């Protein structure tokens, strides 16, 4: 990997969400908020995730890669397919393993409030044999200098069904690892295309 694209820092904080309804409030008025895929009472394992990742690249280049459906599909761990169904909305199949429980989820990804090259929001919702998964987050890109971008993210993740019992103990670590893998892959792709 070229030295100019190596990340300078990685930080992620994970905490428990006391109110898993925050996801529903965040997507109210979006396609995901108006047509939920996942039935249920909203009970399950939930965590709040926040952190940052720094990449040696221009902010507009990083933003373009983070919102590119092909980059998302190839870099988000476990994604088997990602198909556009409307502007900024995609159907997705994703396999996730938490501890001894593994399963495939099908659902939707929605990008919203897209403000290039500064910020966007992403909502993910899916269901499968192991239960349901929901996630909502915001991503902000800050130019540290002309060739360095800090990606700051925060969001909520909620799981229900068989995953919920295992996830109480492990969801934070799994989510942190998936985020780090995603940004590392984006960084490698940018190095390969430079």
Cis peptide leading into 117, omega within 30 of 0? yes
Tell me the pTM. 0.76
For residue 148 the two structure tokens come to: 């360095």
Average per-residue pLDDT for the chain: 80
**pLDDT per residue as tens digits for the range 21-50:** 443 444 444 444 433 333 344 468 888 999
Total count of domains within the chain: 1
- Model pLDDT for residues 71-125, shown as the tens digit of each residue: 999 999 999 999 999 999 999 999 988 878 888 999 999 999 999 999 999 999 9
pLDDT band (50, 70, 90) for residue 191: confident
Percent helix, strand, coil in the chain, to 5, is 30, 45, 25
Burial class, 175, CB count within 10 angstroms (exposed 0-12 / middle 13-18 / buried 19+): buried
What is the model's pLDDT at position 41? 42
Q: Which residues contact 144 (CB under 8 A, 6 or more apart)?
A: 54, 150
Q: For residue 49, what is the domain's CATH number? A: 3.30.530.20
Q: Which domain holds residue 56?
A: 3-193
């Amino acid at each position: 990997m070229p030295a100019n694209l190596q990340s300078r820092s990685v930080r992620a904080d994970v905490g428990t969400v006391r109110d898993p309804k925050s996801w529903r409030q965040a997507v109210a008025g979006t396609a995901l908020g108006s047509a939920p895929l996942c039935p249920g009472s909203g009970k399950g394992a939930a965590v709040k995730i926040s952190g940052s990742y720094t990449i040696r690249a221009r902010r507009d280049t990083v933003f373009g890669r983070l919102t590119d459906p092909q980059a998302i599909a190839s870099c988000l761990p476990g994604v088997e397919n990602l198909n556009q169904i409307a502007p900024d909305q995609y159907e997705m199949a994703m396999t996730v393993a938490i501890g001894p429980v593994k399963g495939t989820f099908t659902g939707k990804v929605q990008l919203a409030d897209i403000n290039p090259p500064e910020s966007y929001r992403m909502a993910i919702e899916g269901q499968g044999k192991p239960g349901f998964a929901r996630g909502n987050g915001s991503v902000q890109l800050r130019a540290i200098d002309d060739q360095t971008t800090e990606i700051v993210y925060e969001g909520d993740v909620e799981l229900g069904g068989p995953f919920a019992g295992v996830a109480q103990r492990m969801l934070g670590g799994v989510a942190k690892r998936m985020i780090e893998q995603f940004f590392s892959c984006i960084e490698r792709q940018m190095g390969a295309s430079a």
